[in-house]
A and B are shown apart, each in its own frame.
Chain A
Amino acid sequence: MRAPRTGKAAKAAWGRLGAAAVAVRQGAVVTVEDFRAYYTWRSWLGGWLVRLLCQVLFFSQLAALVGDSGYAVHVVLGASLLVGVLQAMQGISTTVRDILLGTLPLLAASPVRPGWFFLGRSLCWPVSGVVSSSIVLLALSPFFGASWTAVQVPLVLLLVLLTTLATYCTALVLGAVALLVPMANNLLSALGTMAVTVLSGAITPVHFWPGPVQAVAETIPVTHGLSALLLLESDAGLGPTAHAAGRAALAGLCWLVLSLVAYRLLFNRARRGGSLLT
């Protein structure tokens, strides 16, 4: 009796996983076309990337002038990481874009799980973030005293990837909150971006903040991603680095689960209320 039932459950689980993958992929189709409306290869490389390089260069230069060499390394790594992270935060405004397009009721009427769809819906931003962050970091950090061995370079890339994607999951949760109060979307974006920039320790070390603020900082994946990066750079050993990276991954996972739950709950709430889905 048991075997067929577990077989059935396994099949259903596979089905759900397949549907989730489809939803992410179809969301990604939309983000690719959206992204293309913003950038061509040329404008991305020649405009956007150059701008980001200048920005990080500016902050790092400033840090080198006012602080010791350790601080310059800290800032160049932090600012480079933020390059990707801030692009990932664009995920916040995706849902509001769909409210304006009028696609939410159609999504609500379809079998799609909105959380997975919206996971794909802005994916281009973190991807652009990972690429630009990596380039900026590897191009600029050696000039400000960071040194990487050949083995460390892939680990750096991995950490950038992890941190950016984990931050994207934070953005998704904020995007779901924007469903609740679409008018507050810009405010949410601003607050989210500010929290990530200021609290993550990219410019100001986390221990500078009072306890409660530090606790908030702990929930931000960048805080841990940056620790990991700094530990890696200072050759603190794989153990501590992996530990910090693990914390970043865990934070990201929590945000991901939270976003899936939030989208589900908020869509159900909208079914009862009505104003969102009209």
Chain B
Amino acid sequence: MTGSAIEVRELTRLYRRKGKPELRALDSVALTVPRGEVHGLLGPNGAGKTTLCRVLSTVLLPSSGEAAVLGRDVVRQAEEVKRLIGIVFGGDRGLYPRLTGRQNLDMWASLYGLRRRARRVRVAELLERMGLSERAEERVQTYSRGMKQRLHLARGLVCDPGVLLLDEPTVGMDPVAAHDFRELVRELRTGGHTVLLTTHDMAEAAALSDRVSFLDNGRLTLTASPEAVGDVVSSHERLEVRALPAALRARVAALPAVAAVTAVDGDTTRIETETPEAVRAVLLLLVEEGITDIARTRPSLEEVYLHLVGGRGMAVGG
């Protein structure tokens, strides 16, 4: 058991609310993350991802059950756990905006007990790695969202933690910044860090993780390979079409590998496909018929989840 980086058993966390029953943000969650794994924790908003990260980082106490980081209990050995874990919460809060990037890092390095010389080396190295060296002497309030998030990542790494918790780190970033950030996480992975990455973006989880778990409504329901998730995400696509005539609609539905054709609202129709070929076929047909008001979207988390559970169910049945 001490072999795992993260070990969670029967973990439940309740929140008291005024005038309402207690909210069960985590419900008997069990999760084991071996050392060196990048584990994606997928879940929609309100699933309990942040709550789990906060329990693991000693910021919140569990209501019942147990959680351990590198063999240390997060309640009984909290002081030890604090030094083993690095946390990066999404969003651009949590930095001192009037301090420079270097000052922010130096401050936390110092609070984590690094001596002056070790600190200087570590901070310079992290700034370099995150591509922030050039702006290191500028106040954080002048940083872009992406830079702040990279600084957050550097902050999380300042104590050289055995386990890194990334809680929706790319939320609110523009695509380029998010891409750069994912590259940094990928480097961590090759560096042998254990990472728990929470996200509601399946493509992100699939691209970065060794394994993926689904959290929904406080329950951890399924652990899958990222390939399984990736397959569903890349093969399943949705097209949303405006003003599709009924006759054409029937022809689209008749195409092979078109899973569903449903009216969404007003004059919008959603077409769900199961293979890339099907997407092409549908698009060809629509364009031929002069329909161009088409949007491509990815399947929702729930859809992928249902598909994976359904797929597994079939495999078990067969």
Query: Which residues of A come within 8 Å of B, CB atoms?
Result: 19, 22-23, 25-26, 29-30, 33-34, 36-37, 101-103, 105-106, 108-112, 117, 271-275, 277-278
List residues 85-108 of chain B with CB under 8 A from any CB of chain A. 85, 87, 89, 91, 93-99, 103, 106-108
List 6 interface pairs A-B (beta carbons < 8 Å), by A numbering: A33-B98, A101-B95, A102-B93, A110-B111, A273-B16, A277-B60
B111 touches which of A26, A101, A275 (Cβ 8 Å): A26
> Is the pair A19, B113 in contact by a Cβ cutoff of 8 Å?
yes
8 nearest interchain CB pairs?
A102-B93, A33-B98, A109-B57, A102-B94, A112-B111, A108-B59, A271-B61, A26-B107
**New contact pairs (18) apart from A110-B108, A111-B112, A274-B15, CB-CB < 8 Å:** A26-B110, A29-B99, A29-B107, A30-B107, A33-B99, A33-B139, A101-B93, A102-B91, A103-B95, A105-B59, A106-B87, A106-B155, A110-B82, A110-B111, A111-B79, A271-B61, A273-B16, A278-B54
Rounded to whole angstroms, the CA-CA distance of A82 and B108 in the bound complex is 35
CB distance from B146 to the nearest CB of A (A): 18
CB neighbours of A25 from chain B (8 A)? 110
Taking the complex as formed, is B50 at the interface, i.e. its CB lies under 8 A from any CB of chain A? Answer: yes
Taking the complex as formed, is B4 at the interface, i.e. its CB lies under 8 A from any CB of chain A? Answer: no
Rounded to whole angstroms, the CA-CA distance of A274 and B51 in the bound complex is 9
Query: Which residues of B come within 8 Å of A, CB atoms?
Result: 15-16, 50, 54, 57-61, 79, 82-83, 85, 87, 89, 91, 93-99, 103, 106-108, 110-113, 139, 155
Rounded to whole angstroms, the CA-CA distance of A148 and B59 in the bound complex is 54
Given A102-B91, A271-B59, A36-B82 contact (CB < 8 Å): no
Inter-chain residue pair count (beta carbon < 8 A): 84
CB neighbours of B94 from chain A (8 A)? 101-103, 105-106
CB distance from B169 to the nearest CB of A (A): 14
Q: Chain B contact residues: over half helix, strand or loop, or mixed?
A: mixed
CB distance from A277 to the nearest CB of B (A): 5
CB distance from B315 to the nearest CB of A (A): 39
Q: Which of A105, A106, A109 has the most CB of B within 10 A?
A: A109
B54 touches which of A30, A33, A103, A105 (Cβ 8 Å): A105
CB neighbours of A112 from chain B (8 A)? 111
> Is the pair B98, A36 in contact by a Cβ cutoff of 8 Å?
yes
